[in-house]
Amino acid sequence: MPVYEYTCPDCNAEFEELSRTMDDTATPICPRCGKSRSRRKLSVFSAKVGASASAGKMPATGCGRCGDPQGPCSTDF
């Protein structure tokens, strides 16, 4: 059974819903505000495909927003 991610446009809640069908028209009720206007989000996933010598270590690539090698920036974009 697929698990879909949703966001509610009324209260900005984000939640997951286990679906028994793959019906695109099914709209779950928001657990926060109770309205049924939720929109399905595009889900992102990752998978580990094999072991490597540096398993468990994150690469030092810097900030993902500004590219600063020192880490996350404090500038709001």
Widest pairwise Cα distance in the chain? 49
What per-residue confidence (pLDDT) applies to 7?
94
37 falls within a domain: yes
Residue with tokens 């998978």: 47
pLDDT at residue 5 above 60? yes
Q: What's the mean per-residue pLDDT of the chain?
A: 75
What per-residue confidence (pLDDT) applies to 49?
75
Q: Tens of pLDDT along 26-51?
A: 788 999 999 999 998 887 766 677 66
pTM, two decimal places: 0.51
CATH number for the domain including 7? 2.20.28
Non-local CB neighbours of 18 within 8 Å, separated by 6+ positions: 1, 2, 3
pLDDT at residue 4 above 80? yes
64 falls within a domain: no
Number of domains in the chain: 1
What per-residue confidence (pLDDT) applies to 76?
45
Amino acid at 28: P
